[in-house]
A and B are shown apart, each in its own frame.
Chain A
Amino acid sequence: MTAMDTEQKVMTEEVLNKYELVIGLEIHAQLATKTKIFSSDPAFFGAEPNKHTTPVSLGLPGTLPKINEEVVTCAVKLGLATHCKINLVNRFDRKNYFYADLPKGYQITQDELPICQKGFIVINLKDKEEKKIRLNRIHMEEDAGKSMHDKDDRYSLIDLNRAGVPLLEIVSEPDLRSAEEAAAYLSEVRRIVRYLDVCDGNMEEGSLRCDANISVRLKGAAEYGCRCEVKNLNSIRNLQRAVNYEFRRQVQLIESGERIDQNTLNFDAATGVTSVLRSKEMALDYRYFPEPDLPPLHLSQDWVDELRKELPVLPEQRIKRYTSELGLSEYDASLLTNDRSVADFYEELISVSSNYKSAANWVIGPVQSLLNESGKEISELGIPASAIAEIIQLVEEGKVNNSAATQQIFPVLTASPGKQVNEIARELNLFIDTNEDDLDAFIEQAVSKYPDKVVEYNKGKKGVLGLFMGELMKVSGGKIDPKTANKLLISKLESLK
């Protein structure tokens, strides 16, 4: 057998199908607190280099850390939202290693007693049942600074603004079995942290980062294969690409009779290829020991219970409710709950309107488009949910038609959010008041404009109905009831067969 034959053998779907992908993700979420985890310098992104520093975050001689209480709150909230056990007694440890962006020569993290353990996150895949992905732990730690190697020929440049920014590390069990599942999981984590307002989930800016532990094994095997860690994936897409690449790479190696080395890998987004960052021999000995400068945390159950009460209703719960109680589709429910402020707006809307489906369409449609275009937050738009409810009411009662509502009333409302919906409709003369005789006349007008389309319609091309409706809207000035008009239009067309 030639080398080419071997390669061709490996790359068939049949071969790949013998194997199972096993993935665990370690996600780092940078918290949106005002200050860093152990010092009072600002934590936000984007300042000029080395401006967000204090003696503590610089690791100057004689400095000592002190825990930011808000970080603990964020950690507990995330733990509660992901069904974790909160370790009321938890503490910090030192992870010792040398790197240019690590000023103390150690990172303060949580190793033995993390604040949260054993939770789960539910993911939904297209056309499949929901799946529970177990969490091993969530712990608090500090971020390192940034070193840049390509700005200068001879030197690396170091900016310590990021050194000490609070991180929550979320570690899953190796329960993920495909790139799709991994992507769904990462998305869900992103959604949850945004819901809780603990992290903005911006992967491009690095506020959410992902490392993937990937291994393969023959389907049905009890043991896990040897895993490789792909570090610092900065987008959901790159996560999927890296996973798929690794799957094929590892299967190929195994099929060729070779061993998988437990390496740490880098993923090159440009080429789509992983390469060795650190080999197993260079595996680091972190010499963990408890951080003597920070007394332990003994959280009270009462305090945790208070936080639980303050949690917003999470996407997982809302989707359940929207699909089972309100009768929305999974797809719509998912879109609605993507962003917490939008979901909250929807909640407000359905508290004053019982037309859940219509409300969903409004939020997913015109409101979301407006948000996308303007780049604003929903609170900044200032459109009261009650106004949308009113519009829905008008359409439902047949007083204005839907396209008039979306294309004419809504834009005016957007520009003057304080205006009364009824007033706008009146001013724009949108109230449906066309009687049946006038309606017949309009239909006559529309139909006679396109005789050849009439023929097409009767030949079976039902799609041209839209063209007639459009014309009808035009000639009537939009003041017709679409349902009635549609019925009459169809009978008119059929009468011309």
Chain B
Amino acid sequence: MEKYTTLSSVQQDIKDSKLHLRQLVEAYLQRIEENKHLNAFVEVFAEEARSQAEIVNSRLLDGTAGKLAGMVIGIKDLICYQNHIVSAGSKILDNYRSVFSSTVVERLLAEDAVIIGRQNCDEFAMGGSNENSFHGPVKNNADNSRVPGGSSGGSAVAVQAGLCMASLGTDTGGSVRQPAAFCGVVGLKPTYGRVSRHGVIAYASSFDQVGPITNSVEDAALLLEVIAGHDEYDSTSSTLPVPAYTQQLDFSGKKRIAYLPETLTSEGLDPEVKALTEKTIKELQEAGHAVEPISFPYLDFVVPTYYILTMAEASSNLARYDGVHYGYRSPNATDLESTYKKSRSEGFGAEVKRRILLGSFVLSAGHYDAFYGKAQRVRRVIREKTDEILQDHDFILLPTTPGPAFGIGEKTDDPVTMYLADIFTVQASLAGIPAISLPLGETKTNLPLGIQLIGKRFGESELLAFSKYILNVTKSR
């Protein structure tokens, strides 16, 4: 079967009776099986997907189907689905069965999406390579010796390798955008508060957002349209109405785009990434858009600020995993204290433990004002300056990552590279604004490369329209 890359083509073929959704699901199930080595899925909901496909196909034919009918989607192992296990990539929740569904899953199902399985990720969304999962590492389909990125590695690979049409991942500091870049697909982080966090296992509460990973901008727009919007269960969800993103994808006019020169002059930047970015800038300029360098004086502060805040919030959010009411309890527990210490130490992986400890350190007595309080002030400075740039410009353009996917186990310790990697993606997370990674090129060895666009707060409509435009511009090179 041909690889479908957009929902519209699926829906058309089903309506024309050229395709039955059941066939498509079977094809995906088979591809998942054939690509088990990628380890993208932790669990496949085969039977459910099959029966759901039957129901949705009939609806498509009699005209009663929802917007996502024909969409076969995977969800990151961090997003709750009633009656299904959600393990957050961790041993501590490996047998935990959710008794309720997240709002995003409910909205997917209400529009007739078929959820085919839960996807591997870094434990509790902490990581940038999907090497921190209890269920083992995920492999990049472009090169199996390389990482797919993280934490939504499984979600990105699944779309890359055609194991499903789209995925829902989560992005806290880049966890949707970076794997999307490594895997050559589209990955969007919405504005903070655009999408409900109810039923999404929390890592850092003031950063987490669910985001779609797709082949096309159209499908990203459609998914966002379905999952976005106010949720009575999430007090931080925005009450602003949701635009019909899919109706607003036609781009026209000229845009003003800023790029941050510091990001392009660092030694740690892979020359091919630099070249791709500069090429994109030039193409946009030639198409009549104003693209200019804007200095961002606080670039050096984004990484420390991000880590201080996210580790602090995570240390509190993960306190509930204590072996008492749900999740893993150590067989070596002899009283309450040992239940805590042993269950948590045995149930959590090393990276998670590290971040919890450091977060507790940041918040501990005597350090709160100096660390957390200070970081919150610096966050405001970063946000205000970024907003200022976006007052005079429509978008900020920069690489998504400093280089293509690195090798599994290679886990670069080079501070400059790691530093750059974080700078590119965390700024949008700190400011709470939307950002998208677009697969605009490849290395000479055919490894995907992504370029990132950051948009105005709640400006996903403009961001998506321009993204679609850029992809067309670069495709026609």
Instruction: List, in ascending order, chain B residues with CB within 8 A of A106's CB.
Output: 316, 319
- The answer to whether A62 and B319 touch across the interface, beta carbons within 8 angstroms, is no
* Interface 1/0 per residue, A54-83 and B, CB below 8 Å: 010011111111110000000000000000
Is B433's beta carbon under 8 Å from chain A?
Answer: no
**How far apart are the CA atoms of A96 and B80 in the complex, in Å?**
25
A interface secondary structure, majority: loop
**How far apart are the CA atoms of A105 and B359 in the complex, in Å?**
14
| Min distance, Cβ B90 to any Cβ of chain A, angstroms | 10
With A62-B200, A64-B235 known as contacts, the answer to whether A100 contacts B336 (CB < 8 A) is yes
With A96-B319, A293-B235 known as contacts, the answer to whether A287 contacts B199 (CB < 8 A) is no
- The answer to whether A292 and B313 touch across the interface, beta carbons within 8 angstroms, is yes
Is A103's beta carbon under 8 Å from chain B?
Answer: yes
Instruction: List, in ascending order, chain B residues with CB within 8 A of A94's CB.
Output: 316
B interface secondary structure, majority: loop
With A285-B364, A288-B368, A289-B312 known as contacts, the answer to whether A61 contacts B96 (CB < 8 A) is yes
Interface residues of B in 120-167 (CB under 8 A from A): none
- The answer to whether A105 and B316 touch across the interface, beta carbons within 8 angstroms, is yes
- Identify the interface centre among A67, A100, A293: most chain B CB within 10 Å of its CB: A293
- The answer to whether A105 and B234 touch across the interface, beta carbons within 8 angstroms, is no
- The answer to whether B235 and A287 touch across the interface, beta carbons within 8 angstroms, is no
With A104-B320, A287-B365, A293-B205 known as contacts, the answer to whether A55 contacts B235 (CB < 8 A) is no
- The answer to whether A66 and B235 touch across the interface, beta carbons within 8 angstroms, is yes
Interface residues of A in 80-117 (CB under 8 A from B): 94, 96, 98, 100, 103-106
Pick the contact of A96: B199, B234, B322, B363 (CB < 8 A): B363
Is A121's beta carbon under 8 Å from chain B?
Answer: no
Is A295's beta carbon under 8 Å from chain B?
Answer: yes
With A62-B80, A62-B199 known as contacts, the answer to whether A289 contacts B372 (CB < 8 A) is yes
Pick the contact of A98: B86, B88, B205, B340 (CB < 8 A): B340
With A64-B197, A293-B235 known as contacts, the answer to whether A100 contacts B372 (CB < 8 A) is no
For the complex of A and B, list the 6 residue pairs with the smallest distance between their C-beta atoms, beginning with the closest. A105-B319, A287-B363, A292-B205, A62-B199, A292-B206, A285-B365
Instruction: List, in ascending order, chain B residues with CB within 8 A of A293's CB.
Output: 205, 235-236
Is A156's beta carbon under 8 Å from chain B?
Answer: yes
| Min distance, Cβ B242 to any Cβ of chain A, angstroms | 19
* Interface 1/0 per residue, B66-104 and A, CB below 8 Å: 000000000000011000001010000100101110100
| Min distance, Cβ A243 to any Cβ of chain B, angstroms | 30
**How far apart are the CA atoms of A289 and B313 in the complex, in Å?**
9
A–B complex contacts, Cβ < 8 Å, 8 sampled: A60-B99, A61-B80, A62-B197, A64-B234, A104-B320, A105-B318, A287-B316, A287-B363
Residue of B nearest to A160 (CB): B325
Pick the contact of A60: B234, B235, B326 (CB < 8 A): B326
Is A158's beta carbon under 8 Å from chain B?
Answer: yes
- The answer to whether B325 and A66 touch across the interface, beta carbons within 8 angstroms, is no
Pick the contact of B98: A62, A67, A98, A105 (CB < 8 A): A62
- Identify the interface centre among A66, A105, A294: most chain B CB within 10 Å of its CB: A105
Is B194's beta carbon under 8 Å from chain A?
Answer: no
**How far apart are the CA atoms of A94 and B318 in the complex, in Å?**
13
- The answer to whether B320 and A105 touch across the interface, beta carbons within 8 angstroms, is yes
- The answer to whether B198 and A62 touch across the interface, beta carbons within 8 angstroms, is yes
**How far apart are the CA atoms of A458 and B34 in the complex, in Å?**
119
Question: How many B residues touch the partner, as a band?
Answer: 35 or more
- The answer to whether A60 and B98 touch across the interface, beta carbons within 8 angstroms, is yes
Interface residues of B in 296-341 (CB under 8 A from A): 312-313, 315-316, 318-322, 324-326, 336, 340
**How far apart are the CA atoms of A63 and B100 in the complex, in Å?**
10
| Min distance, Cβ B423 to any Cβ of chain A, angstroms | 23
Pick the contact of A55: B86, B93, B100, B236 (CB < 8 A): B100
| Min distance, Cβ B279 to any Cβ of chain A, angstroms | 40
Instruction: List, in ascending order, chain B residues with CB within 8 A of A61's CB.
Output: 80, 86, 88, 93, 96, 98, 201-202, 320-321, 326
**How far apart are the CA atoms of A496 and B360 in the complex, in Å?**
94
| Min distance, Cβ B314 to any Cβ of chain A, angstroms | 11
- The answer to whether B319 and A64 touch across the interface, beta carbons within 8 angstroms, is no
Residue of B nearest to A149 (CB): B336
Interface residues of B in 359-389 (CB under 8 A from A): 360, 363-365, 368, 372
- Identify the interface centre among A62, A64, A96, A103: most chain B CB within 10 Å of its CB: A62
| Min distance, Cβ B336 to any Cβ of chain A, angstroms | 6
Interface residues of A in 291-313 (CB under 8 A from B): 292-295
Instruction: List, in ascending order, chain A residues with CB within 8 A of B235's CB.
Output: 64-67, 293-295
Residue of A nearest to B124 (CB): A61
Residue of A nearest to B92 (CB): A61
Is B233's beta carbon under 8 Å from chain A?
Answer: yes
| Min distance, Cβ A144 to any Cβ of chain B, angstroms | 13
Interface residues of A in 149-164 (CB under 8 A from B): 156, 158, 160
Instruction: List, in ascending order, chain B residues with CB within 8 A of A55's CB.
Output: 99-100
* Interface 1/0 per residue, B192-212 and A, CB below 8 Å: 000001111110011000000
**How far apart are the CA atoms of A63 and B101 in the complex, in Å?**
10
Instruction: List, in ascending order, chain A residues with CB within 8 A of B201's CB.
Output: 61-62
**How far apart are the CA atoms of A103 and B96 in the complex, in Å?**
15
Instruction: List, in ascending order, chain A residues with CB within 8 A of B262's CB.
Output: none
**How far apart are the CA atoms of A294 and B199 in the complex, in Å?**
16
**How far apart are the CA atoms of A294 and B233 in the complex, in Å?**
11
Is B267's beta carbon under 8 Å from chain A?
Answer: no
- The answer to whether A287 and B340 touch across the interface, beta carbons within 8 angstroms, is no
Is B26's beta carbon under 8 Å from chain A?
Answer: no
**How far apart are the CA atoms of A453 and B165 in the complex, in Å?**
109
**How far apart are the CA atoms of A419 and B372 in the complex, in Å?**
72
| Min distance, Cβ B443 to any Cβ of chain A, angstroms | 38
**How far apart are the CA atoms of A65 and B325 in the complex, in Å?**
18
Is B33's beta carbon under 8 Å from chain A?
Answer: no
| Min distance, Cβ A348 to any Cβ of chain B, angstroms | 43
Is B232's beta carbon under 8 Å from chain A?
Answer: yes
Instruction: List, in ascending order, chain A residues with CB within 8 A of B336's CB.
Output: 100, 156
**How far apart are the CA atoms of A61 and B318 in the complex, in Å?**
9
Other 15 A-B pairs with CB < 8 A, given A62-B200, A289-B312: A55-B99, A61-B80, A61-B320, A61-B326, A63-B199, A64-B235, A65-B235, A66-B232, A67-B235, A104-B320, A287-B365, A287-B368, A289-B316, A289-B363, A293-B205
| Min distance, Cβ B9 to any Cβ of chain A, angstroms | 34
Interface residues of A in 27-79 (CB under 8 A from B): 55, 58-67
Instruction: List, in ascending order, chain B residues with CB within 8 A of A160's CB.
Output: 325
| Min distance, Cβ A318 to any Cβ of chain B, angstroms | 40
**How far apart are the CA atoms of A57 and B365 in the complex, in Å?**
28
Instruction: List, in ascending order, chain A residues with CB within 8 A of B200's CB.
Output: 62
**How far apart are the CA atoms of A287 and B371 in the complex, in Å?**
12
| Min distance, Cβ A171 to any Cβ of chain B, angstroms | 20
Instruction: List, in ascending order, chain A residues with CB within 8 A of B206's CB.
Output: 292
**How far apart are the CA atoms of A227 and B232 in the complex, in Å?**
45
Residue of A nearest to B197 (CB): A64
Instruction: List, in ascending order, chain B residues with CB within 8 A of A105's CB.
Output: 316, 318-320, 322
- The answer to whether A100 and B324 touch across the interface, beta carbons within 8 angstroms, is yes
| Min distance, Cβ B239 to any Cβ of chain A, angstroms | 11
- Identify the interface centre among B319, B336, B368: most chain A CB within 10 Å of its CB: B319
| Min distance, Cβ B386 to any Cβ of chain A, angstroms | 20
**How far apart are the CA atoms of A461 and B79 in the complex, in Å?**
90
- The answer to whether A64 and B198 touch across the interface, beta carbons within 8 angstroms, is yes
| Min distance, Cβ A97 to any Cβ of chain B, angstroms | 9
**How far apart are the CA atoms of A59 and B96 in the complex, in Å?**
13
- The answer to whether A64 and B98 touch across the interface, beta carbons within 8 angstroms, is no
Residue of A nearest to B198 (CB): A64
| Min distance, Cβ A64 to any Cβ of chain B, angstroms | 5
**How far apart are the CA atoms of A106 and B312 in the complex, in Å?**
13
Instruction: List, in ascending order, chain B residues with CB within 8 A of A59's CB.
Output: 320, 325
Interface residues of B in 229-269 (CB under 8 A from A): 232-236
**How far apart are the CA atoms of A67 and B234 in the complex, in Å?**
11
Residue of A nearest to B366 (CB): A285
